Structure 1
Amino acid sequence: MQVPNEGHVAVLAFPFGTHATPLLTLVRRLSATAPNLKFSFLNTPASNRKIFSKIKPDDYQNINPYDVDDGVPEGHVFSGHPLEAVELFLGLMPENFKNGLEEAVEKTGVQITCLLTDAFYWFAADMAAEMGVPWVAFWTASPCAISVHMYTDVILSTLKGYTEENGNQTLNFIPGMFAIHAKDIPGGINQEVPFNIMLHKMGQTIPRVTALAINSFEEIDPIITNDLKSKLKMVMNIGPFDLALPPKSFPDESGCIPWLDEHEKASVAYLSFGTLLTPPPDELIALAEALETQRVPFLWSFRDSSKLPLLEGFLERTSTLGKVVPWTPQLQVLEHPSVGVFITHAGWNSVSESIGGGVPMICRPFFADQGLNSRLVEEVWKIGVSVEGGNFTKSGTMKALELVFSSEKGVEMRENIGNLKEKAKIAVGSDGSSTKNFVSLVKVVAGCENA
């Protein structure tokens, strides 16, 4: 594909959660397809260090990271509030990014020709308009989640406000959301806190975007995707990235794959929560007790070593039943035929990986869009089950394990997720919808197509 020699794409990352990494993955994919373009990646110093340390310099020769102010005052002592760092950062926007853009232009000597941002950044609409360049927004979660934010005002109007009493009301007045409840909406819809204000502004502003790219595939939510297409100029599902860009093989230092080879098909529970979303102590103990009582073989990727002592007795008693390791080659594990269920949080990356592996889920929602994802997993796609009451208990986890491993519903889950996996593989194939959408996205970013 021919692209301009002097193109300069400014990339504005959201430095929290699992946002910056998939955005960098997208930028690396774009830069490989359009090597003549320059990409300036604007992000906080800590987030830049973290995500760029995972790749080799040769893999991003036309991508230059730039640090923007994170809003944390010198000597600041954090209170422990989970959103404190986020709110300090939001308080500086968009000035910190404007400063970063000036630096990128000065150092490259090339004016910005496209603005590629996390979809959260509503202010990018005005920035792009002032520069006279296209605004491409990247949404890292499901099409359903971005649609919910676009419909926030409609939801509030229809429900006449949001209360605990109407939290169970379904959003059947919105295309494709017949099973979604008001309480599933990410972050609520009327809490006047900076993060939720940002989400509301995003929903109001996203119709101005030149193109919206989504880390999903059209076939997973066709009704919602078609509704988005009717409201936006260009909607491009370009994932799931786990299948579109399969990672390089990682060394299996803990011997997970040989251990899985010793087990029967679909008999092992694989558990992984990462480092940020490890369940609290009482839930870890309940989860362990359920596995031990049910005698379910398990492979547990346990990264929060500070909480391992909680399971000391459990680990001794189940040394022949399960395997606990600090790290696993996750996608390779999920594709192994002996894995029968993935026990994890309800983040979109986990849902996507579960689909890519064709393995049913037992998911635990923590925050953000995870309540929505849990509802999609259990009631819309029927590819897993959300933990009873939203927390791990011994009885609730035992019930979920029984459902997945030993019931007709479990058989149905495996069939449903297998079908979704096949659709996803077709979407990222040479003639698939996600592949075609990515080609169109390159044209917009490179200035070859005026949307």
Structure 2
Amino acid sequence: MAKLKHVLCIPFPAQGHVTPLLKLSHCVANAIKVTVVNTESVHAQVMAANQPDDGSNRINFVAFPDGLETDEERKDWAKLLESILRVMPGHLQKFIEKVKRQSKGNEDEHISFVTLPKGWVLKRAGFWAASVSALALTLHIPKLIEGGVIDNEGIALKNDVIPISKDLPSYKSDDLTWSFPEDLAVQKVFFKWMLAIIHNSTHSTSYLCNSFHELEALACKITPGVLPRGSLWNEDSTCSNWLDQHPPQSVIYVLKKSFQNILKMTKRFYESTFGSTTIFSPEQFYELAHSLEQIGQPFLWFHGTFLQRVKNHGKVVQWAPKEEVLAHPSVACFFTHCGWNSTLEGLSNGVPLICGPYFADQRLNRSFICDVWRVGLGVDGDENGVITRHEVRTKILAVLGSDEIKTNCQRMKEMARKSVSEGGSSLKNLESFIDLIKA
């Protein structure tokens, strides 16, 4: 009798990585046994967020230690990444050996496939939660070093465009996906992680990417083995009723991280929030608040902080069902930090984007949003690095008034929906992945 295939899914311990891999796990759990492995701290959040009827009972969840003792230590990205690289592979190997011992005489317990966070021995696939374009740039690192574009620690040596293929638009030197401008120590660890991805890429049978082929056809073309296939927090469903009260395309949806990213750039003082260090400037904060007041349109802002001055114009929630909000017809534009999940969700719902990126692949995503796909605009700082109320207001009104951006957004929405429909590229890739596991 053929053994039932058993897959281990191991996401990188961050919400933007855990969420898409959980979605993939739900997609394949009907045909294949799935075990999701998280660090203990992330595991607790996943268990708290999952509802009894969301299908999670079809997935087995396992927790490994991350090697750190306190949540305070986990706020240090450099320390967290170094610890995970050091301790997680050993825990993984012990777990696989334990399951192998227990599987004797039990056909259901044979692990045959592993999906890993950007690459970690079994038959396996890498899982890439960012764009295919970001993966293409990452896999090109050895040639960038060889060509003198970056040094051995990933620091750009030239302030110039970076061509990696005639089939792709050139990258900018500040679009490097491992960038962390506030902390070079963290950037070095990010870059070390990227080098590990390249080292392990030869062991993966394929890369599952959280994208769809039509969006990044050129990047898919130069990245062999890519299979594009198109929340940890409790959500506040009251915002849906509030959105119902507003006319179509009238509400500005503001993602908390977009404001955090902008505020980080001013480097004035620190406030700890949601496990990360955010740098706030009172001047910058009120410039952003004033911009919302001056525009005068309703807004939905998911943020724990409440500004009395603008509260009557909109609704502030602790956490919002982002995908549900973006699909609502009243939403006119999305002020985002340009994380890839948010970018893809905005594109898939045809919502124009206002971009406030900060680090990692966010800057690269902004470049594609504004310069390649032309589905949004970015906000820029003045000579003092402050993004003024005038800048925010001007860019939001420009996006709302642009027929070109609206047309491009609708085209992206149609491509995304087609990709997951019967016969679509993402659905075909998901089926191919399941066949690959079963082989």
Under a length normalisation based on structure 1, what TM-score does the superposition of the two structures give? 0.81
Cα deviation 1:192-214 (Å, max 9, x = unaligned): 73331111221343244212111
Letter in 2 for 1:27: S
**Percent identity of paired positions between Structure 1 and Structure 2:** 28
- 1:301 maps to 302
Distance 2:149 2:361 in 1: 22
- 1:243 maps to none
Distance 1:56 1:312 in 2: 34
Letter in 1 for 2:295: Q
Tell me, yes or no, if structure 1 residue 221 matches structure 2 residue 216.
yes
- 1:12 maps to 10
- 1:131 maps to none
Q: Secondary structure at the match of 1:219?
A: coil
- 1:263 maps to 246
- 1:25 maps to 23
- 2:289 maps to 288
Tell me, yes or no, if structure 1 residue 323 matches structure 2 residue 312.
no
Counterpart of 2:143 (choices 150, 154, 160) is 154
Greater CA deviation, 411-420 or 46-55?
46-55
Letter in 2 for 1:412: E
Cα deviation 1:210-231 (Å, max 9, x = unaligned): 1211111000011111111xxx
Distance 1:432 1:40 in 2: 27
Distance verdict in 2 for CA 1:337–1:7, change over 3 Å: closer
Greater CA deviation, 259-268 or 44-53?
259-268
- 2:339 maps to 347
Cα deviation 1:387-444 (Å, max 9, x = unaligned): 21487432321221121123xxx22111111101101111000110111111110011
Counting only pairs closer than 5 Å after superposition, residues 222-237 of structure 1 correspond to structure 2 as 222-228=217-223, 232=224, 234-237=225-228
Greater CA deviation, 338-347 or 433-442?
338-347
Whether the 8 Å CA contact 1:42–1:100 is kept in 2: the answer is no
- 1:335 maps to 327
Distance 1:214 1:328 in 2: 25
Counting only pairs closer than 5 Å after superposition, residues 43-442 of structure 1 correspond to structure 2 as 43-56=38-51, 59-73=55-69, 78=73, 81-109=76-104, 110-119=109-118, 121=119, 123=120, 127-128=121-122, 134-161=123-150, 166-167=158-159, 169-188=160-179, 193-228=188-223, 232=224, 234-239=225-230, 253-254=237-238, 256-273=239-256, 276=274, 280=280, 282=282, 283-302=284-303, 305=304, 307-308=305-306, 311-315=307-311, 319=312, 321-389=313-381, 392-406=387-401, 410-442=402-434
1:326 Cα deviation after fit? 2.8
Distance verdict in 2 for CA 1:416–1:113, change over 3 Å: same
Distance 2:112 2:250 in 1: 52
Alignment root-mean-square deviation, CA: 2.9
Distance 1:165 1:150 in 2: 18
Distance 2:205 2:220 in 1: 16
Distance 1:187 1:54 in 2: 29
Whether the 8 Å CA contact 1:16–1:86 is kept in 2: the answer is no
Distance 1:325 1:7 in 2: 42
1:52 Cα deviation after fit? 3.3
Letter in 2 for 1:67: A
Whether the 8 Å CA contact 1:269–1:342 is kept in 2: the answer is yes
Residue ranges of structure 1 left out of the alignment (5+ in a row): 129-133, 240-246
Distance 2:59 2:214 in 1: 32
Distance 1:344 1:293 in 2: 19
User: How many residues matched?
Assistant: 404
1:150 Cα deviation after fit? 0.6
Distance 2:363 2:235 in 1: 34
Letter in 2 for 1:325: V
Whether the 8 Å CA contact 2:421–2:427 is kept in 1: the answer is yes
Residue ranges of structure 2 left out of the alignment (5+ in a row): 258-272
Under a length normalisation based on structure 2, what TM-score does the superposition of the two structures give? 0.83
